[in-house]
Structure 1
Amino acid sequence: MKRVAPSVGMKEEVDGILRGTAVGAVDPMKGFVRSLARYILQVHIEEEATEFLGRGRYERGQRHRAGLRNGYEGTGLQTEAGLIDLRVPQLRETEESFRSPLLRRLGKRSEDLEDLVRGMYVRGLSTLDVQDLYGDTFGEGRLSKSTVSRITSRLNADFEVWKKRDLSDLKVVYLFLDGQYHAVRQGTEEKEGVLSAFALLESGEAVLLHLELGEGESFDAWLAFLQDMTARGLSDPLMVIFDGAPGLKKAIRRVWPKAFRQRCQVHKMRNILAKLPKGMQGRMKKLVHQVFRAPSYEAALKRGRALIARFKDRYSTAMECLEKDLEECVTYLRFPNEHHVRIRTTNRLERLNGEGRRRTKVIPRFPTERSCLSLLYATLITASAKWRGVVMTPAILRKLDRLSAETSTRTEEMAA
């Protein structure tokens, strides 16, 4: 009695779903999609075996290749539609072993599934969460902990490629720099600095540039971070926006001495208010805002100096804080009005880093520092995909060109 090929039974299963006679189908549409995919794949695998031998099942006559069919062996293909069980023809007495080209291409699980697993992981789910959610969606026992870990570990490889990529094609106008802190090593509660950079390009596009560990946001750490980007071809930014950390400021002066610098107004405001009595903080905040939001760079300097003269005797420490970085706090006013809201603070990068902190809370300790950076990279890349850039019209580009020409004539004294 001739045995029936597995694809025949699978075809009957598909027909049963279409006729409504299939047993145990919880979701008819999901069952149909899975069963149809299974049938199509099975037919293709059986045809591969036929082509390999040069003859069909139970076909007699001249043999084009030595070998006999020897039943089937089960295998599984993991897909977004769930686990698809397939039957691979087994051949014996052949000169070379038979391996399905289709299964070699697809592997044990599809790229769609791997993207799905990585996406769930990056968006805030732990390994156990991913297992549970996938099981709830596609059925229990679909993914093991080791499988999820293996798939998500690909983030490490992606990150290594990304952090070594060439940056010479990026024409940076505005460069934003910030640091965040994470417990990146097992066995310690100590948190370490993670430095990050993103840019607004001449095209108006917003891009994440770099991510790396940096000990305490020190000068040496920031200097190495910036030099890494320049070594990969990063062009000189027209303006750098930063939070005012002394080590970072010194590193910016060292690497890009003639670039315009914009001190984050949010950080500066906090520093000023922290040096005032609580009863005065609300009033002073409004007065400083009038300086920071002046209609022009010259007007901002005039307002700032008047404010400092007015209160320097009563609140000398706060006014010294404002006076120290007054010019850098209002540099943005020299740039196109259309960009002002986006370039006067590091808020966007801080919000992005906040997303990174939210994600890493799911994993209180990382096995290695590289695994922490890889997860942060994936999280920030995912979040940054939603960024809006800035408008770049011919008039705006002409103004930026004039500012760029000015940087070529700025003296080291002005840059210091």
Structure 2
Amino acid sequence: MDEATIIDFTRRDAVIDPLTDLLRKGARDLLQAAVEAERDAFLAAFAERRTSDGRAAVVGNGYHPERAVQTGIGPVTVKVPKVRAKDGKPVTFRSALVPPYVRKAKSIEAALPWLYLKGISAGEMDTALKVLLGPHAAGFSANTISRLKSQWAGEYEDWRKADLGRDEWVYIWADGIYSGLRGADDRLCVLVVIGVNARGEKHFLAIEDGVRESTQSWREVLLALKSRGLNAPKLATGDGAMGFWAALEEIYPTTKQQRCWMHKSGNVLNYLPKRTQPKARKMLHDIWQAETREDAHAAFDLFVESFEAKYPKATECLIKDRDELLTFYDFPAQHWLSIRTSNPIESAFATIRHRTKRTKGCLSRDGMLNMMFKLGQCAEKSWRKLRGFHHLADVIQDVDFINGIKPSNQDQAAA
């Protein structure tokens, strides 16, 4: 998305909805952090100026009264910091981002989605904030940008050490996200794990640098999660091509495995000619949409019989994960939509994949990880609870679901 496209967004009418409210809060946090970083850079420039007793001569002095900058998504409040001199030589701090008397920034609404994706890159932050507050935002120095980057990197490191033992984690999704890097022969593979707790809340658990989704890389990720208190999840969902499964069997051997139907369908269809793919896609759909495991096996057998003679690689690709593709039948039917695929990860990082293709690897490795972390934080705030989350208590208690139904309920239905 280029700057012209972003600015065009300012012509749209703002709609007050939960997403707008989320973006407004994001704008407030970004602006507050940015002006405080400006203040810190300003103070650093006077670091050698001292009073007669050796103390810093120029120091922070609280904040001006909170003020609102009117934007296309409503008022965004910010408190501009103040400084004072203790040696009798007056100094004045003025924010380049929020100059005195500025009360309106028309382009904030357009810039916010872009900033979530580009805000970590030092080379692009200045341009991004000029889009945010207009050309008069010049003066956002490299030192200020560096301070903001350090702050975000620190947040990422603190998040990686957060205690996971306070929650019971029921399901996890795992996937590897590939992105380009500046000056690197190989693409960065970010190993991502999302979990859902007993209350049905979905959270990122890991966003880590990996080596081509290898078993060793996933082992390190899972060991780190275990050391932070992650219990053995009841089910893990992911692509069958990952080294994740070997590592999972080693670290969490009791966790059941569900292969992602989205990945599997794409892999199977790749072995078929285009003219055959629509029919094959419908037959694959009939497998994972079957009401019972028995019906799914029947649809599975029909697919194999239909394509095995001419396209053995396609059927082999499907057969090798047969049991793991149908694990979801052992869990509540209300959860099937979520646990059959790794879509929670795919959807969260769809914009990242688009962005990295356009930038052609302009970000550093650390910058990419920090950017994905910030994007993940933003995405989490808009996630809904797992559908049918009240059934998670039964899953935790190891209730045996038969074709998605508790045995007692199934017996009553049969009667």
Category of TM-score, reference length = shorter chain = 0.5 to 0.7
Among 323, 346, 370, the alignment partner of 1:327 is 323
Report the 3-state secondary structure (helix = DSSP H, G, I; strand = E; otherwise coil) of the residue aligned with 2:349: helix
Q: Which has the larger displacement, 381-390 or 246-255?
A: 246-255
Indicate conservation of the 8 Å contact 2:126/2:140, yes or no: no
Residue 363 to residue 387, structure 1, CA distance change in 2 (3 Å): farther
Q: Which has the larger displacement, 310-319 or 221-230?
A: 310-319
Residue 394 to residue 378, structure 1, CA distance change in 2 (3 Å): closer
Is 1:128 matched up with 2:126? Answer: yes
The 5 A counterparts of 1:70-109 are: 88=84
Report the 3-state secondary structure (helix = DSSP H, G, I; strand = E; otherwise coil) of the residue aligned with 1:279: coil
Indicate conservation of the 8 Å contact 2:112/2:132, yes or no: no
Q: Deviations over 1:95-129 (max 9, x none)?
A: xx999xxx9xxx9999xxxxx99997324453122
Alignment partners' CA distance in 1, 2:118 and 2:289: 37
Among 226, 245, 249, the alignment partner of 1:249 is 245
Letter in 2 for 1:129: T
Indicate conservation of the 8 Å contact 1:292/1:330, yes or no: yes
Structure 1 residue 365 displacement after superposition: 3.1
Residue 393 to residue 211, structure 1, CA distance change in 2 (3 Å): closer
TM-score normalized with structure 2 length: 0.66
Alignment partners' CA distance in 2, 1:275 and 1:73: 67
Report the 3-state secondary structure (helix = DSSP H, G, I; strand = E; otherwise coil) of the residue aligned with 2:371: helix
Is 1:299 matched up with 2:281? Answer: no
Indicate conservation of the 8 Å contact 1:77/1:109, yes or no: no
Q: Which has the larger displacement, 174-183 or 234-243?
A: 174-183
Residue 321 to residue 84, structure 1, CA distance change in 2 (3 Å): closer
Is 1:204 matched up with 2:197? Answer: no
Structure 1 residue 302 displacement after superposition: 3.0
Among 166, 169, 173, the alignment partner of 1:172 is 169
Among 246, 258, 264, the alignment partner of 1:262 is 258
Residue 232 to residue 393, structure 1, CA distance change in 2 (3 Å): closer
**Radius of gyration: which is bigger?**
1
How many pairs align?
A: 318
Letter in 1 for 2:149: T
Letter in 2 for 1:130: A
Residue 140 to residue 263, structure 1, CA distance change in 2 (3 Å): closer
Structure 1 residue 315 displacement after superposition: 2.7
The runs of 5 or more residues in structure 2 that have no matched partner are 1-57, 70-77, 99-107, 403-415
Alignment partners' CA distance in 1, 2:63 and 2:395: 57
Structure 1 residue 371 displacement after superposition: 2.7
Q: Deviations over 1:151-187 (max 9, x none)?
A: 2331000001000111111211110001112234x43
Q: Which has the larger displacement, 303-312 or 151-160?
A: 303-312
Indicate conservation of the 8 Å contact 2:97/2:137, yes or no: no
Is 1:379 matched up with 2:375? Answer: yes
The 5 A counterparts of 1:106-255 are: 121-124=115-118, 126-136=124-134, 139-141=136-138, 143-184=140-181, 186-255=182-251
Note the aligned Cα RMSD (angstroms): 3.9
TM-score normalized with structure 1 length: 0.66
The runs of 5 or more residues in structure 1 that have no matched partner are 1-71, 111-115, 407-416
Number of the residue aligned with 1:35: none
Report the 3-state secondary structure (helix = DSSP H, G, I; strand = E; otherwise coil) of the residue aligned with 2:134: helix
Letter in 2 for 1:214: G
Number of the residue aligned with 1:15: none
Q: Deviations over 1:389-413 (max 9, x none)?
A: 214465553255234899xxxxxxx
Letter in 2 for 1:131: L
Report the 3-state secondary structure (helix = DSSP H, G, I; strand = E; otherwise coil) of the residue aligned with 1:402: coil
Residue 76 to residue 201, structure 1, CA distance change in 2 (3 Å): closer
Letter in 1 for 2:397: D
Residue 351 to residue 119, structure 1, CA distance change in 2 (3 Å): closer
Is 1:397 matched up with 2:384? Answer: no
